[in-house]
């Protein structure tokens, strides 16, 4: 790539970070204001950071929609909210044997982490116990859980199971959250993350982009993740769902998606940044550039209510780029 002033600025920031100096908020805002069509210029610096902290090994994770639909919350992007007339499947928490079978099948693949994700504000004590039993004897894979807003007692149970990481997204910047959800607060989400951390679980916390947030709010979101010192950051790009309030929103381009990934890598240089939902649709023919924009992980397979990319296709993509599944 030709070394333009923007390329030099990104590389300078990356080298500054590697020297132990934290860039200023104004530095991050300057990156965020990059025009989407120039986003590839941010990649050399972002890629330098990714390779320094993670080499060419890519983390793989997968999820299961273990309880679907009829959610009491009103997140504007979500097909599973009972507030909106969508065609989402509705079913209760999967039976113990079904959950165990899914986990055992995935444990024989290169996937590192597997998460059960459930709709609703949270799970009951009995439901959490069922999940604990389902994964108790499954080896060769790490488990995450994504069960919504839980209390300290719930996290104590999860910590005693084979769950080692809790996933709970902030979704967006504090200043934008009330535009997409009013059934619970940002503070409740932060409290949930704090309780999970206090229980000894690592934290997977990210968001979804393309909701109408500004570039400045992407920086605000990244600063919040810095403050929480999360371990992994799942990055989703909106795939509008018919029936939801955001059904007609289409604010993403491949360039903006790459810019968001790169910005998060500069802001969270040593954190796992996982490319997740909406990647195939929104990155289109530029999906391969996501890793050079800073992504160090990949969610493979299907998502909660939308189809993803198969494990074999993802393994082929990584191989074609000279990347490999992290051992």
Q: What is the pLDDT of residue 261?
A: 99
Q: What confidence tens digit (pLDDT) does each residue in 287-321 have?
A: 999 999 999 999 998 655 555 688 999 999 999 99
Other CB atoms within 10 Å distance of the CB of residue 106: 21
Q: What is the pLDDT of residue 139?
A: 85
Q: What confidence tens digit (pLDDT) does each residue in 226-282 have?
A: 999 999 999 999 999 999 999 999 999 999 999 999 999 999 999 999 999 999 999
Tell whether the model's pLDDT for residue 99 goes beyond 60: yes
Q: What is the pLDDT of residue 69?
A: 85
> Which domains are delineated in the chain?
5-325 (3.20.20.70)
DSSP codes joined into one string, 279-301 = HHHHHGGGGGGGTTTT--EEE-B
The candidate with the shortest Cα–Cα distance to 299, out of 57, 64, 60, 102, is 60
The candidate with the shortest Cα–Cα distance to 14, out of 57, 44, 59, 38, is 44
Rounded mean pLDDT of 87-109?
90
Longest dimension (CA), the chain: 58
Which residues are CB-neighbours of 240 under 8 A, at least 6 positions away?
77, 246, 247, 248, 249, 250
Q: What confidence tens digit (pLDDT) does each residue in 127-170 have?
A: 999 999 999 888 889 999 999 999 999 999 999 999 999 999 99
Rounded mean pLDDT of 49-76?
95
């Amino acid at each position: 790539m030709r070394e333009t002033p923007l390329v030099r600025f990104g590389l300078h920031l990356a080298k500054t970070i590697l020297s132990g100096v934290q860039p200023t908020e104004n530095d991050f805002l300057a990156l965020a204001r990059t025009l989407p069509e120039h986003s590839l210029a941010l990649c050399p610096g972002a890629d330098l950071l990714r390779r320094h902290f993670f080499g060419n090994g890519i983390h793989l994770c997968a999820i299961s929609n273990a309880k679907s639909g009829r959610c009491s919350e009103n997140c504007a992007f979500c097909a599973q909210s009972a507030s909106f007339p969508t065609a989402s499947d509705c079913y209760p928490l999967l039976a113990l044997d079904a959950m165990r079978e899914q986990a055992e099948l995935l444990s024989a693949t290169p996937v590192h982490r597997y998460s059960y994700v459930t709709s609703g504000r949270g799970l009951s004590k009995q439901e959490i116990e069922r999940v604990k039993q389902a994964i108790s004897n499954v080896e060769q894979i790490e488990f995450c859980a994504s069960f919504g807003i839980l209390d300290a007692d719930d996290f104590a149970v999860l910590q005693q199971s084979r769950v080692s990481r809790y996933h709970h997204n902030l979704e967006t910047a504090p200043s934008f959250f009330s535009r997409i959800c009013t059934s619970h607060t940002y503070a409740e989400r932060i409290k949930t993350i704090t309780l999970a951390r206090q229980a000894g679980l690592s934290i997977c916390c990210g968001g979804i982009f393309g909701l109408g947030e500004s570039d400045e709010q992407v920086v605000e979101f990244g600063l919040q993740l810095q403050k929480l010192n999360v371990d992994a950051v799942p990055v989703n790009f909106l795939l509008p769902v018919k029936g939801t309030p955001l059904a007609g929103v289409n604010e993403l381009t491949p360039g903006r998606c790459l810019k968001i990934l790169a910005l998060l890598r500069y802001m969270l240089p040593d954190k796992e940044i996982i490319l997740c939902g909406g990647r195939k649709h929104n990155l289109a023919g530029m999906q391969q550039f996501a890793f050079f924009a800073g992504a160090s992980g990949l969610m493979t397979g299907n998502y909660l209510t939308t189809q993803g990319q198969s494990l074999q296709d993802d393994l082929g993509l990584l191989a074609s780029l000279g990347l490999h599944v992290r051992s």
